[in-house]
Amino acid sequence: MKIDGKSWRPIWVEADGWAVGIIDQTRLPHAFETRRIEDLDGAVHAIAAMQVRGAPLIGAMAAYGVCLALRAYPSDGALDAACARLLASRPTAVNLRWALAQMRAALRPFGPDADSGKRVSAAYARAAEICEADVAVCRAIGEQGLALIREVAAEKDGAPVQILTHCNAGWLATVDWGTALAPIYMAHDAGIAVHVWVDETRPRNQGAALTAWELGKHGVPHTVIVDNAGGHLMQRGAVDLCIVGTDRTTARGDVCNKIGTYLKALAARDNGVPFYVALPSTTIDWTISDGLADIPIEERSGDEVTTLTGRNPAGMLTEVLIAAPGSSAANPAFDVTPARLVTGLITERGVCAASEAALAGLFPELAGGRDGHG
Ligand code: MRU
């Protein structure tokens, strides 16, 4: 996608052919800064500190983390240690596990006795493929979702299609396009009037900070709302549909996404608003069915709840305390929306019901798989 006319992706290989460049998402929207990641420590930190975030992008960063680790120590032991550290960097998004499995599979023919240069080259080649595949898949999700938005637009007589989204499932969260935002970008580019209600997404404000920034850069009309406003807007008929992303979707269609997604799904159901989840098949965890029982929910620091960072009138980034001093805070980062509350899953192969049969019908070669894509 473009920022002020220049094409960007949130991750790339630097001109030297080995270091990895990223947009530091902890600085947006106040400052646009890139970082150069040169080793495994840097890759683990980028994921854990959320310089890169969003399920597909975390997977891409992990793949390049393996490359950087192997470049330093091309042994099997180093590979195992790198994968273990990367896997532990954030627990909920299954793309991390998927990407590491992909990297291990690609490196299998290059055992410890193989030429280490070839092993490292194979790693970079596979990481690049993972990134390009993500772009193609997100584009396809966009096309599938565009058809849905077109259908709604046909009923609106030129009035904007009102879409509510939560967190950031845009191009910053993937390698390009995004998942939930891809259909919105395509609808806007196709001349369909759209307006997006952007949940601020406390505590880290991925909506207010990242989604609003992305949409603004692309010229998509949008309004930031507090997380608690969605139900009210739905009661007033101001939301035509919700589209959100997911960090892990179970084989039967339970969806784990940013904390607060479940409440939006409940409000949507109560108000007859369609609730769609956009996802690449890489976020389906075919090994589990029950999202509530089986998905590990990341617990982050309570400091993210009790403090806020923003830009003060002097233009400086400032952190302020917003809670009563001394109060403790809990910070579960994700929640699970049961499949029964999901109107449909927008995947790269089509829109389907959130059910085991429908997912298996779209992805027969993956359903029942032990570790996603093998
Ligand atoms: O904690 P984050 O910012 O990594 O959470 C991201 C989300 O919840 C997204 O909705 C999800 O990863 C889908 S991204 C295409």
pLDDT score at 74: 85
CA distance 240 to 325: 41
Mean pLDDT over the full length of the chain: 96
276-312, pLDDT tens digit by residue? 999 999 999 999 999 999 999 999 999 999 999 999 9
Kindly state the tokens that stand for 135: 């772009």
Residue 189 falls in the annotated catalytic set: no
- Which of 51, 185, 258 to mutate for ligand 1's pocket (most ligand atoms within 8 Å of CB)? 258
CB-defined site of ligand 1, < 6 Å? 53-56, 93, 167, 169, 173-174, 178-179, 206, 245-247, 257-258, 333
What confidence tier does 373 reach under pLDDT thresholds 50, 70, 90?
Answer: very low
106-127, pLDDT tens digit by residue? 999 887 677 888 999 999 999 9
Sequence-distant (6+) residues with CB within 8 A of 179 are 56, 138, 141, 169, 173, 245, 246, 278, 279, 280, 346
Measure 222 CA to ligand 1 centroid, in angstroms. 19
321-350, pLDDT tens digit by residue? 999 999 999 999 999 999 999 999 999 999
Percent of the chain, pLDDT > 70? Answer: 98
- Which domains does the chain carry? 2-132 (1.20.120.420), 143-362 (3.40.50.10470)
Find the mean pLDDT for residues 24-37: 96
Find the mean pLDDT for residues 137-149: 98
Nearest to 346, CA basis, from 272, 260, 255: 255
Measure 240 CA to ligand 1 centroid, in angstroms. 22
Our CA dihedral for 189, 341, 167, 289, rounded to 10 degrees, sits at -110
Counting from 1 in the atom list of ligand 1, the atom nearest the Cα of 279 is 15
pLDDT score at 250: 98
Q: Angle of helix 116-154 relative to helix 181-189, nearest 10 degrees?
A: 60
38-55, pLDDT tens digit by residue? 999 999 999 999 999 999
pLDDT score at 370: 55
Measure 257 CA to ligand 1 centroid, in angstroms. 7
332 burial class (0-12, 13-18, 19+ CB within 10 angstroms)? exposed
